[in-house]
Amino acid sequence: MFEARHTMATTSADNGIPQSAAGGPPAAGRGGDGDGGGEWGWFAPAGGERTAEQSARPGPDVGSAGSAGSAESAESAEPAYPANPGYGRFEPSRDAELIRRTLEEIEPISQAVTSYFYALLFLQHPGLRELFPASMDSQRDRLFKALLTAAKLVDERRVLVEFLSHLGRGHRKYGTRPEHYPAVGECLIAALTRYATRTWSAETEAAWVRAYTAISQIMIDAAAEDERRAPAWWRAEVVAHELRTPDIAVLTLRPDQPYPFRAGQYTSIETPWWPKVWRHYSLACAPRPDGLLVLHVKVVPAGWVSTALVHRARPGDVLRLGAAAGSMAVDHSSDAGLLCLGGGTGIAPVKALVEEVARGGRARSVEVFYGARAGRDLYDLEAMRELDRRYPWLTVRPVAAEGPPDGGGLTGRLPDVVREHGPWQGYDGYLSGPPGMVRSGVEALVAAGVPAHRIRHDSLDALGAAGASRD
């Protein structure tokens, strides 16, 4: 279940059950295939999706999206977990402590716990297996990470509700229904009962049941609400496919109905070749009058989805898209200039931000640093230079670690070069690229005078989980 990928302002063994359901092909990320970079779900299907190609690891994505039950289904939904007379109201602080203790105990054996959980789930509810991808490798990680995230947020109700609502909406595209939640809850409790032997007690079980009931109800409600206004997924035809380097392609998609998003957000993608495997990729354009969408996809080593999108997809192929998510959007309440760092295919959402400023009519200074290891890796440099020539408020500086790019540019690593060109007081920071680059880029911006709360980027947890990969 849980997919997750957030944009933030800086502010997955053995089990004791017959092996039946796990397995499948190897996985590979946002902006990427790597399974990584994508959505991560708790219990439900997920493929990591991510912003642009995350680099190649299998893994979850975070993001938002989707659709879910109707208002009618929500109203008629059974409690997410069977009511138990012994379980009273959710008591955040005490329950959170008990839940944290359980999580601490199972963390070193999380693989075994999640394997047991899924094996039990698929044994007792075989109909649910079809909601999940063939390979469950990265799914196991997602469950535990989502549990950890929810547990950490249990005393921060507003953030927790936001996180869970996002997950609930995002699960619509997996086909998750309200009636699936009790089955998941029963198997989760059974797995914890078996493995958390040191901390498990009747009180602890009651805390978990209360927490799971609250969690699932928030997700079910968010999905039902979302179903009133958006489809669970969009179909999108590939109308253009341009191979820019041996491993990077720019794809243009035509959705079957209007696809709402903001510049800087990412989408979730499922290809016809890897059913149930979803990845996140940033949209490389602002919303356009013709409704077309653009993606920059780099092959992630062993990445199923990224490899398919770069080397197999052709015009006429039809993909599925989840709802747009992410908050790396232009802050229109700010008059500050935009200082944008795009590393590799991380330039995709930066380009979208530039387009949005161009269409907004209110000229704000935009400084783009576009970095890669070598000049030949700057696959979108000509297009960025063209934007630079067209807009007087925009400056694009290509940066390559191995020497200046053809046509001129800067030498060095992106964060170092940006710091050297500071100070940057008076600018808002927007960063996109490999997790390590984003981390050191944030440090560089702060050192160069950009207030931390004025810096936006995708979640480092999500980036880390997806790796530099996005399948």
Ligand X SMILES: NC(=O)C1=CN([C@@H]2O[C@H](COP(=O)(O)OP(=O)(O)OC[C@H]3O[C@@H](n4cnc5c(N)ncnc54)[C@H](OP(=O)(O)O)[C@@H]3O)[C@@H](O)[C@H]2O)C=CC1
Site residues (vs ligand X, CB under 6 A): 29-32, 37, 50-55, 281-282, 296, 298, 343-346, 348-349, 371-373, 377, 401, 413-415, 432-434, 436-437, 440, 468, 470
Identity of the residue, 40 or 281, whose beta carbon is nearer to ligand X in the bound complex: 281
How many whole angstroms separate alpha carbon 420 and alpha carbon 321? Answer: 40
Minimum CB separation of residue 433 from ligand X in Å reads 4
Q: Can you tell me the distance from the alpha carbon of 242 to that of 296, in angstroms, rounded to the nearest whole number?
A: 10
Single-letter code of the amino acid located at 377: D
For the bound state, the minimum distance from the C-beta of residue 310 to ligand X, rounded and expressed in Å, comes to 11
Question: What is the maximum span of the chain, computed from C-alpha positions, in angstroms?
Answer: 73
DSSP-derived secondary structure letter, 366:
E
Nearest distance in Å: CB 397, ligand X: 13
Q: How far is the CB of 22 from ligand X (least distance, A)?
A: 26
Q: Which residues of 280-307 are buried (b: 16+ CB within 10 A; e: fewer)?
A: bbbbbbbbeeeebbbbbbbbbbbbbbbb
Residue 74, amino acid: A
Q: Which H or E run includes 254?
A: strand 248-255
User: Of the two residues 69 and 343, which places its CB atom closer to ligand X in the complex?
Assistant: 343
Hey, what are 430's tokens?
């927007």
405: preceding bond cis by omega (within 30 degrees): no
What does the alpha-carbon distance between residue 410 and residue 399 come to, in Å, rounded to a whole number? 5
The distance of closest approach from Cβ of residue 344 to ligand X in the complex, given in angstroms and rounded to an integer, is 2
Residue 270, classed as helix, strand or coil, is strand
Tell me whether residue 115 or residue 282 sits nearer to ligand X (CB atom): 282
As a whole number of angstroms, the distance between CA 211 and CA 226 comes to 23
Please identify, using beta-carbon distances, which residue of 232 and 463 lies nearer to ligand X: 463
Of 31 and 170, which has the nearer Cβ to ligand X?
31
Residue that is written with structure tokens 């380097």 in the block: 245
Residue nearest to ligand X (CB): 52
Cβ nearer to ligand X, comparing 232 with 444: 444
Q: Considering beta carbons, is residue 214 or 250 the nearer one to ligand X? A: 250
Minimum CB distance to ligand X, residue 147 (Å): 24
Beta-sheet strands, E only, within 65-111: none
Give least dist CB 32 to ligand X, A: 5
Report which residue type is found at 104. E
